[in-house]
Chains A and B, each alone.
Chain A
Amino acid sequence: MAVKLLLANDHVEGIRYYDTYRKHGGYTTAEKAFKMSPADIVEEVKKSGLRGRGGAGFPTGMKWSFLAKPEGVPRHLVCNADESEPGTFKDRYLMEFHPHLFIEGLLISSYALGSNATYIYIRGEYAWIPDILEQAIAEAKNHGWLGKNILGSGFDCEIYVHRGAGAYICGEETALIESLEGKRGNPRLKPPFPAIQGVWMRPTVVNNVETLAAVVPIIAMGGDEYAKIGVGRSTGTKLLSVCGNVNKPGVYEIDMTCSVEEFIYSDEYCGGIPKGRKLKACIPGGSSVPIVPANLLLKTAKGETRYMNYESLSDGGFATGTMMGSGGFIVLDDAQCVVRHTMTLARFYTHESCGQCSPCREGTGWMYKILKNIEYGKGKMSDIDLLWDIQRRIEGNTICPLGDAAAWPVAAAIRHFRDEFEWHVLNPDESQKRNYGLAHYADPIHVPAGA
């Protein structure tokens, strides 16, 4: 049985409310934290090896240690709850069903970083969740966990919920900061990094919801113990949100030691592929990470078993591997069309590009148009190379990583499924009828990986 830290109380009815949460050990970790110095908490988080759970996987303790502390200047913790990466809905689950765990993590982290005013930037579409969070905040405040002089420590903390209004780009931390300041979500040039000049030009740490919730078990058990869970540099547990063609979509907590095959086919997790279909491909870490065909998903190019952790998923680089990303696990069965799926992702990135950098603003639109042509039977063979060329010119040429995020899915789709693009060009009538015509994928497991 896998270790459960964040969802350990998932079965407890009413865990959303203060009394039940408290009865199950809630806020005892905050009590422990307030007996420690802020520096000690940062040290424990460093020792835990916790990596940012939003997608980039940057070590959280290190990010915290970069925070500037100039005399007389307030600093802020901002929680990134702008979860918008297609395939990802784990933070929503945590906030909706475990709001107090999240608030406790925010409180401990605010204390560690010296943030007297902490903001939760939540995507606007999650319109019912601010009410849940504000209720949890009010309950916590009534019981003395927020407000002035918490537990007699002399530390004051308020947590505010700030609703966005529908912009994927605001999940990028500097765009989020701009948006929190009441502006368009245009990412900033770095440096200066938010740790030096963030919101209102004050030192700021931006962390994902799951990252901040994980601070609770880290402080409860100690950083060293937390680091023993998992494998290598993939320490602790990770939430995965599973969608697409599986029997049991939903949110799962894994300890990063199970194999991809076990994750997809065991009843404890995804429960296999429905309707007796076969696994064709998977995007394991949110729409931005490379799609991989089944054979490369279950085993690395060297033929070794692939595991559900940062290192194993990225084994082989982009040529034959992919990434852990945000944990948005999208599964495609053998009836699905990679061209159409890639087209919807290109449309998504076109819609969400902030328009600041030309390669992304123009490139995402071109990619969508070309993919639409191919999907609807109006494509030419040369379009496939043109697509490759465009994505290559976007990657690395933009202020923020949205450009890369838009380029990678297209690149990976062509890299591994080029014959499917060619099929669309050669069979325009059938592709228009949305007859995916994938008869040539009799056994997708054995499709050879492209160059």
Chain B
Amino acid sequence: MEIRFSEEKMNKVREIIARYPEGKQKSALIPLLHLAQDEFGGWLDVPVMDYVASILNILPIEVYEVATFYTMFNTKPVGKYLLEVCQTGPCMLNGSDDIIDYIKEKLGIGPGETTPDGLFTLKPAECLGACGYAPMMQLGKTYREHLTKEKIDALILELRGAANN
């Protein structure tokens, strides 16, 4: 895979950089890493980070240190669907432990592991700001809230279906 943003994405990159003062283009780093992660397979491989560094005219190490600091940046490959289930206090009070155990059992994977078909990665997460709608998980750009075992069954069926089409 060639690591290069499309012209359309490059327009977005330029628009993002223009939000910050002249010479402060490094401020665009986190937004650009989001863009790169979405574009290049859901995780940030070293060549991807180097590419972002070259766009912003900063050192690769400046990108690595940021990419490894923030939870949302994956520095290892993940499945097509990343199931990030909140396990912090308020979700725990409403049964997130059972939801995590159920997903482990159903998919046969542990925390941080990916199913052999490359579809699902389970990642227990810390508070995602949906405490009143617990238990919940983050899936891509959306939240799935008020989770139950039935909802997990339906979700996995739905995602398997989407992946096959």
Bitwise interface map of A from 200 to 212 toward B, beta carbon under 8 Å scored 1, else 0: 1000000000000
- Please name all residues of chain B whose beta carbon is closer than 8 Å to the beta carbon of A348 when the two chains form the complex: 88-89, 126-127
Interface size on A, as a range, is 35 or more
Task: Tell me, yes or no, whether A127 is within 8 Å of chain B by CB.
Answer: yes
Given A89-B131, A243-B132, A244-B94, A166–B24 Cβ distance below 8 Å?
no
The complex places the Cα of A206 from the Cα of B141 at a distance, in Å, of: 26
In the complex, the answer to whether B30 meets A165 with C-beta atoms within 8 Å is yes
In the complex, the answer to whether A345 meets B88 with C-beta atoms within 8 Å is yes
- Please name all residues of chain B whose beta carbon is closer than 8 Å to the beta carbon of A92 when the two chains form the complex: 129-130
B interface residues, how many (CB within 8 angstroms)? 42
Cβ of B54 to closest chain A Cβ, rounded Å:
15
In the complex, the answer to whether B88 meets A182 with C-beta atoms within 8 Å is no
The complex places the Cα of A117 from the Cα of B65 at a distance, in Å, of: 27
- B68-113: which residues lie under 8 A (CB-CB) from chain A? 69-73, 87-90, 92-94, 97
**Residue B131 contacts which of A184, A330, A351, A354 (CB distance < 8 angstroms)?**
A330
Task: Tell me, yes or no, whether B122 is within 8 Å of chain A by CB.
Answer: no
Task: Tell me, yes or no, whether A55 is within 8 Å of chain B by CB.
Answer: no
Residue of B69, B72, B90, B134 with most partner-chain A CB within 10 A: B90
- Please name all residues of chain A whose beta carbon is closer than 8 Å to the beta carbon of B138 when the two chains form the complex: 125
Count, A-B residue pairs, CB within 8 A: 147
In the complex, the answer to whether A243 meets B72 with C-beta atoms within 8 Å is no
In the complex, the answer to whether B141 meets A179 with C-beta atoms within 8 Å is no
- Stretch of A27-35, A61-69, A245-253 at the chain-chain interface: A245-253
In the complex, the answer to whether B131 meets A87 with C-beta atoms within 8 Å is yes
In the complex, the answer to whether A243 meets B90 with C-beta atoms within 8 Å is yes
The complex places the Cα of A127 from the Cα of B129 at a distance, in Å, of: 12
Cβ of B38 to closest chain A Cβ, rounded Å:
10
In the complex, the answer to whether A165 meets B93 with C-beta atoms within 8 Å is no
In the complex, the answer to whether A182 meets B27 with C-beta atoms within 8 Å is yes
In the complex, the answer to whether B27 meets A341 with C-beta atoms within 8 Å is no
**Residue B130 contacts which of A89, A180, A244 (CB distance < 8 angstroms)?**
A89
Question: Smallest CB-CB separation from A342: which chain B residue?
Answer: B89
- Please name all residues of chain B whose beta carbon is closer than 8 Å to the beta carbon of A249 when the two chains form the complex: 131-134
Question: Smallest CB-CB separation from B87: which chain A residue?
Answer: A344
Task: Tell me, yes or no, whether A328 is within 8 Å of chain B by CB.
Answer: yes
- Please name all residues of chain A whose beta carbon is closer than 8 Å to the beta carbon of B27 when the two chains form the complex: 162, 180-182, 200
Task: Tell me, yes or no, whether B49 is within 8 Å of chain A by CB.
Answer: no
In the complex, the answer to whether B129 meets A124 with C-beta atoms within 8 Å is no
Task: Tell me, yes or no, whether A373 is within 8 Å of chain B by CB.
Answer: no
Question: Smallest CB-CB separation from B63: which chain A residue?
Answer: A182
The complex places the Cα of A87 from the Cα of B58 at a distance, in Å, of: 38
**Which residues of A line the B interface, CB within 8 A?**
74, 83-89, 92, 117, 119, 123-128, 160, 162-168, 179-185, 200, 241-245, 249-251, 283, 287, 328, 330, 332, 336, 340-341, 344-345, 347-348, 351-352, 354, 434
Please name the 9 residue pairs, one residue from A and one from B, whose CB atoms are nearest each other, closest first. A166-B71, A165-B70, A243-B131, A182-B29, A249-B132, A182-B26, A166-B72, A127-B141, A86-B127
**Which residues of B line the A interface, CB within 8 A?**
19, 21, 24, 26-31, 33-34, 56, 58, 62, 65-66, 69-73, 87-90, 92-94, 97, 126-134, 138, 140-142
